A and B are shown apart, each in its own frame.
Chain A
Amino acid sequence: MKKTNTKSKIKSLRKSPTGIRGLDEITEGGLPSGRPTLVCGGAGCGKTLLGMEFLVRGATEYGEPGVFMAFEETSDELSANVASLGFDLPALVAAKKLMVDYVFVDRAEYQETGEYNLEGLFVRLGYAIDSIKAKRVVLDTIEVLFGALPNQAIVRAELLRLFRWLKAKGVTVIMTGERGDGTLTRYGLEEYVSDCVISLDHRVVDQVTTRRIRVVKYRGTTHGTNEYPFLIEKDGISIWPITSVQLEHAASLERIPTGIERLDTMLGGKGFYRGNSILLSGTAGTGKTSVAAAFADATCRRAERCLYFSFEESPSQIMRNMGTIGIQLEPWVKKGRLQFQTVRPFHYGLEMHLARTIKAISEFAPDVVIIDPISGLDTSGTPLEVKAALMRLMDFLKGKGITAMLTDLKMGGSFIDHTDAAISSLVDTWLVLRDLESNGERNRGLHVIKSRGMGHSNQVREFILSSDGIQLTDVYIGPSGMLTGSARVQQEGRERAERVTLNEEAERQQLALECKRAALEAQIAALRAEFSGEEAIITRTVRKDKQRGAVLALDEAAMGRSRQGDVVKSNGGRVRVNGEGAKHA
């Protein structure tokens, strides 16, 4: 029941959890047990409600009955006021878990006729506490006494006594106090409460109101010191602080498909990393919502949950429009896998908007969050505030391991300059959709500017929306530049025609070559035939010469013998002729 501060093992301040979402987080466990807490703020900022929720949660969730001492509203009024938040006071009263004591104080009734004290109040409170064994008490608001009783000195003395008495009783007390002029409370109630002071605020900035809560002081413990926006909705008060800003989330290795096949291919073949944040920026009408819807569809197909924040279109409009490109989202909504949250951001302040976003995410517990578009937030804060808010949102999502896809509408021609550097450095994957205008038509192009931790394509793809869905095709890149759309189709046709022409030419040349080769070979054959004819003739001639030479030599030898040999010299020439004939053979 009592939660101790987890940060210290030494006996630390006991705390009573309020059960109010987020308040226990920023007070690190709740309000100080057995001590009074002052909740102060202006009119209509939710003091009474906070007190009442403290009691109701205490009674229903922590088994601590409570007494609500109302100085301003009757118990019937209170019951009616909080019934809209789902608190059934009469039932709790009947179950003796709650007691509402309405103290009516009318100044006109109080005629002072001598000494007195406020024992009657003590008795009433004591009776109420004892009768249901209350552990919690709310006094709303005790400063009415200052206005009603003429003698302020007695009131102050009695209040001091009251708080000592309450501490002695060991009850945890919330007392509310109206904001004073430059002080926390009009009658200086903070003088009596030194343990914990919480300030509520309801500010109007640019016609937009934001409720904020701040722990002004909390003796003996650390606490969140910022102002946190809070919501009052049908389930009571909730505060959605982003208290953890460390970047210590574990990185997932799991990849999830994008819902567009060729986009997966562009992202290393497998899609996004789970838990990463993806920025999808582009000018108007480039298909951001379609890519987002494809991703939502793919998420639901995997039986995961997707929360889609749409700041510009109603759910039915998105579903109708996506139906025309073959993405049916309605079945997923019916199955409860897909939820749309549609609200114009400028209805709320930025902080409030952030708080609502985080509330919705925490409640739906999605695997994928789509925010379409983040530029919708620009209307609700200065650029610096928007950046800070987005950063906190992204940290929150990463901390929970939720994959986030943010679309960003960019104005004007320059697609990249307008995306704020701070946002782009926050995201892990940045896809850009752009208009490619040429030859009198606009076409869509998609490319990946960055994608941390994966090899990704550096190519521009043409992005085609048709009733069959989303397709990515290669753009034509050639000597005449990058072509898309009908220009690409035309260029491709022209190329096909050129290729055909080229093929014919090659065949023709091939044929010519064959002819040449045949002619040449015929020629070679003729030459060969001619040569072998000549060769036969010459061979025969040589043989004849040789035979005749041999005959002559025989004749010469016979003549030499007959002429006594002195004419040998003159016969040398004839010998040589024979010799030459031999050589030829």
Chain B
Amino acid sequence: MSKKNDTVDGGAPAIENEGGAQAAESVNSGSPAVKDEKSYQIITANSREELDKAINDLKAQQPEGVSLIAGPIAKDAFGQYVTRIDFVK
């Protein structure tokens, strides 16, 4: 199952994984790079395994000096797993 993604400022979804996980929301223009202390992304996946993989893939993409912190994992109304990833310099 997949659903349409929203971005706050019209940017494209920031990450695409073959596992089905996807960025649902980004405060920046679609880039996972950190622009300010409030940068974050909401990612969704069909299973916990896919979500964990998406988090790990995102971690691997980060430049040095950027911490990636996952929030609590929730289930949305569509039964998908969702979490918020904060990027902190």
Co-assembled chains A and B: no
